[in-house]
Structures are given as structure tokens and as C-alpha cells.
Chain A
Amino acid sequence: MVSPGEPLLEARGVVKRFGHVRALQGADFTAHPGEVVALIGDNGAGKSTLVNVLSGVLAPDGGEVLLAGAPVRFSGPQDARRQGVETVYQDLSLAPDLDAAANLYLGRELLRSGLLGRLGVLDRAAMRREAVGAFAELGVVLKDLTAPVASLSGGQRQSVAVARAVAFANRVIFMDEPTAALGVVQRARVLETVRRVADRGICVVLISHNMPEVLSVSDRIEVLRLGRRVASLTAADTTIEELVGAMTGSLDQPADAPASAWSPEEPR
């Protein structure tokens, strides 16, 4: 599928405008299989816009997105998901009144075989069985699979959302601030999970504000500023000061964005 060293997901000179605001002005992004890439940037740097473009929520106004070396144009998040690109949204995107298994299979329900299946009857037993497996893979044991997700703790809810992405993604998972709402212990578990997912050859893209966390869990860090990639750093030999410097522009990091993507005017 992808030869080693070749990027799994790539953005080249992506442009996205909202009216007069140019959220992305020739942004680049690179992520390799089995890699944890952190995407950081100050507020308004274009992180969410870039992730929305890469996960199929928004269509770019210019530039191109390549998945496994081939240009793609997602028609929507469903299309991206069909191609193995999943997203864990910051709000988790769960239906709080449904149980964990139903949430795991929301929109991808398993049906019974034969006539019952044709009538749309769910195969709950199979969904629960698979759900137990999917959670176990992340080291999560849910006591009661029939309990509504709303009755779970914040960490458990988080793990349901992560398990859903992991169960179906075979290429890329975007995680938007996955640990923002979590306590210390749960945070460690989620980061552990991120590592384990990446070890299976899936690329995990982490959007985070937490610098120490970014440095400890990711392999590489891509820094956005004013709608462009200004730095692509290896986590192992980067300090928090360097990250902050790249984000704010106070340090003169060599940007590897093509010069053509640079435009003189600043947004807003």
C-alpha cells in the first residue's frame, strides 16, 4: 500500500477561505504510517480548519490532499471514514442515551442475517461481543455494556469515542484535544492508547495545547502559524521553548513550506 518512508497523509499548499478570512494560506502537512504527529499552533493558526479539510468535513479552496500518495477529494466525513480516516471529536460525538455498543456502531450497525436483517433488525449480541473486544484492545473494561454512555465517567466516555475510531480506522485517526477533559490517570491511559494504536501502523494526528504532553507522546510535531506550516520538528530533540517559539514566531525556525505558498498580507 504505502512503501516505508512515503507519507500516508499529505497536504500540499492547502488554501481555505471563510469570506475575507484566510484560515489556511498554503498549508502543508505530512504524516507517515505508524507515526504519532502532533499538530500545534496558537489560537486561530488554522489547526481546526486543516484537520477539517484532512478529515473531509471541509473542502479545500486550493492545494491538494494525498492519501497513500494518491490525490483525494473527500465528499464528506463519511467518505473519509470509508477510506480509513477516522476522527475523535473534541465533544466526543457520542449519543449519550445509547449504550457503548450502539455508539461504537452508530451508522455502521450490524444486522441479523436473513429476513430479520432485511427488516433492519440489529444483531445486538454480535455488536456487544465485538464492542467488548474493541474495548479490551484498549485495556478498557466496561462493567455494563447496556448502560447509557451518559452514565459513564468522562474517561470511559472518552475511551468509547477512541475505541470507535480505532475499531474502524486503518489509516489515520485525528484526535482533537483528546485529553483536555481528563484527569491525570485517564490522561495517561489515553496517551498509552495513542501509542499502541500507532504501533499497529496507523497514523495518529494529535491536536493539542499541552506542550509537555505533545513532546512525550508524539514522534513529530508540525507547527502551524497564520495558516501555514512553519516548522516540522522531531519530538526527541525539541524543547518546549522551541515549540513556543515556532508557534509565536519569536524564534526563527526554518520553515520547509514552499516559498510560493507565502503571501505577504497577514490575515485579519
Chain B
Amino acid sequence: MTAGTGPLADVTSDSVPQWLRRAAGVNELWTFVILVALVVFFSIAAPDKFFTVFDLTQIAVNAAIYLVLGVGMTYVVITAGIDLSIGSVLVLAAVAAAEYNIHHGGATAGWATVAVCVLIALAVGTGWGALQGAIVATGKVPPLIVTLGGLGAALGLAELATGGQDPAGAAAADLQNSLGYGKVLGIPWLVVLAAVVTVAFGLVLGTTRFGTHTLAIGSNPAAVRRAGIGVGGHLVKVYALMGLLAGLGAVMWLASYGTTSIAGHSTDNLKVITAVVLGGTSLFGGRGSVLGTVIGVFIPAVLNTGLIVIGVQQYWQDVAVGVVLVAAVYVDQLRRRARERS
């Protein structure tokens, strides 16, 4: 604590304009600069390939599901939590929807079946998330363990239901042709859906009471409890929201690929957590934004595409993202310490 550095009424030196100082303090700005630098670099390195062969639309389609998951993960991480189970929850929701679809028309199922499948996927995801949230809210088991257990259990249930094989006829053609491959004004529906979800939950985080309480819980749960806010109930909602978005991710996956890909989601959690942290959301809670996560999702996507375009082995992308991730958390930790010393 500072002693005698000034009276309560503070006067800060004002040589630098306030908007500039504030902009420099915004995490998203730095991450965005990195993203732009990557795009510029690849555009110069491969002038007529980066924007034509692998255009931004393709990058966006690939990123759409991770973006939806990332939005939910942003909320969870802001509460100083983590959700490792998202890939398994996505699979479980997809399998539940697929099983219904198979028994109600298979690939030629009608719109009514599609609607029920969507509801099943969303409900399974939300329910699983709420259950994990309720255990986290007791404060007896850390989120890391709750969701690690959830990761195993959800995947196990999905494998039990299917015998471990991806069932045929998991998605109706109507779903695939509309949400999966359809476009509106030249933009794929998957991208539109991801964008709507992102904007909606970005606004909720930034402008509503729910968002403020989420940030406050990550910042100082004891203070929030004393302020009369139900911390446990709020955590259940946040983890349920994560589950809901994992369920939506399952719908998008089924629409896009037509199969449940039981074995294909084991690293979703790492990819999504990486994106959230790259976007400036603090793993220690209290700070973060959906906008940052958007940038964080696109950095690996651009790296991946870019490295292919310039002929470098794309596996370097994993190395680069890993290094940047550790650096991002290191910097966050340094800033936190500097702040506590002041």
C-alpha cells in the first residue's frame, strides 16, 4: 500500500491523452495488432494466394464452431474457472441428437425431426453444463477436476450409446444443406450463426448486470457474496451457458460434417482455452472480453492457413501457438503482480 503518495483526491499527470493510454491498456488491441501483422505478413509472403485460395470465408467457416465454444469459455474463464469437458459434451450432445435422428428418418428425416434434434443437442449440453456448474458452485471440487471428470464421463456415455462407432444417418440432409452448406448473401450460415452468438454474448458480457456479475465473481467472489449476489447460482448459469454453446457446437458439427466424430474432439478444450487466453482473458479471472476471444480464435486459424500457403509445415503452427500461449499467461501474471505492488 502506498503511504503519503497523495491525498484521496488524485491528480494524475495528463501529458498523454486519456483515450490513448486507455487504448494501450486494452488487451484486445495488442492481440489485434498481432493478428493484423500475421495477415499482412502472409499477404506479402504469398501475394496472390493468401486472399484467393484460402480466403477469409474459409477461415471463418473453420473457426465458427471454435468461436461459439470460445464465447462460452470466455465466461467460464472470467469467473476464474475452466471447462475441460466441452469436446466431450459436444460429442455427447451430437450422439443424443444423432440417435434420435437415426430412429426418426435418418438422412431423409424431415424438418420436425431436425428441430427435435436441435433441441435435444441444446438440452443435453445445457443440462450437462448446469450439473458441472452445480458441483463447482459447492466450492468443494475445483472446476479443473469437475470438468476433467465431466470430460471422461460424457465421452464414456457417448461411446456406451453408440458402441464407440460413429452411427450412420446421424444428420438429416435438410440440416446439412441448410445450416451446413447454405449461404445467405454469400456468407455461410455457420458463420452467420457464430457471428450472431458472438455479438449477443459479447453484448451481454459488456453491457448487462449478468456480465458485470460474471466479471465481479472472477475478481473477488467474497465481495460479490457480501454484496448479496448469489455466487453459486450465477456459476451454475455460466457453466450451463457453456454447455448450451457446446450443444450448439454439436448442431453445427452435425450440419457441417454429418457425423458425430466421437474420436475427433479430444483437443477442442485446449484449442478453445488457447484462443480465450490469447484474446487477453485472464486465467485468474475478473478480466476478459468476447472480442478478444474472436481475435484469439483467428490467430491460430490464420497461422495455419498462412503457413500452408507459404509452404512451411503447418505443424509449426502448434509450436508457435504453444509458445505464444505461455508468453500470454506470463505477461498477464507480470501485470497482475505489478498492479498488486502499486
Chain B residues within an 8 Å CB radius of A120: 204, 208-210
Most buried by A among B11, B223, B287: B223
Chain A residues with CB below 8 A from B227, complex form? 93, 106-108
Contacting pair B215 A189 (CB below 8 A): no
Q: Verify A154–B6 contact, CB threshold 8 A.
A: no
Of A93, A141, A186, the contact of B226 (CB 8 Å cutoff): A93
Cα A77 to Cα B223 in complex, Å, equals 12
Name the contact of B10 in the complex, choosing from A89, A95, A142 (C-beta under 8 A).
A142
B339 contacts A152, C-beta separation under 8 Å: no
Instruction: Indicate whether B229 reaches chain A with its CB closer than 8 angstroms.
Output: yes
Interface size on B, residues (CB 8 A): 37
How many residues on chain A are close to B (CB under 8 Å)?
Answer: 49
Main secondary structure of the interface of A (DSSP, over half): loop
Interface residues in A112-145 (C-beta closer than 8 Å to B): 119-122, 124, 138-144
Q: How far is the CB of B296 from chain A (nearest CB, A)?
A: 19
Q: Are B228 and A78 in contact (CB under 8 A)?
A: yes
- Tell me whether B212 is interfacial, beta carbon within 8 Å: yes
B8, A139: Cβ atoms closer than 8 Å = yes
Q: Which of A20-28, A177-185, A236-244, A245-253 contacts B (4 or more CB under 8 A)?
A: A177-185
CB contacts (< 8 Å) of B81 on chain A: these are none
B residues near A (Cβ < 8 Å) are 1-12, 18, 22, 204, 207-210, 212, 215-216, 218-220, 222-224, 226-229, 286-287, 339-340, 342
Which A residues are within 8 Å of any B CB, using their own CB?
76-78, 81, 87, 89, 91, 93-98, 102, 106-109, 111, 119-122, 124, 138-144, 146, 150-156, 158-159, 181-186, 189-190
14 contacts between A and B (CB under 8 A): A77-B228, A81-B228, A89-B226, A93-B223, A95-B219, A95-B286, A96-B220, A96-B339, A98-B219, A111-B209, A119-B208, A140-B9, A159-B8, A185-B7
Given contacts A106-B224, A184-B3, 8 further A-B contacts (CB under 8 A): A95-B224, A97-B219, A107-B227, A140-B9, A150-B340, A154-B2, A181-B1, A186-B8
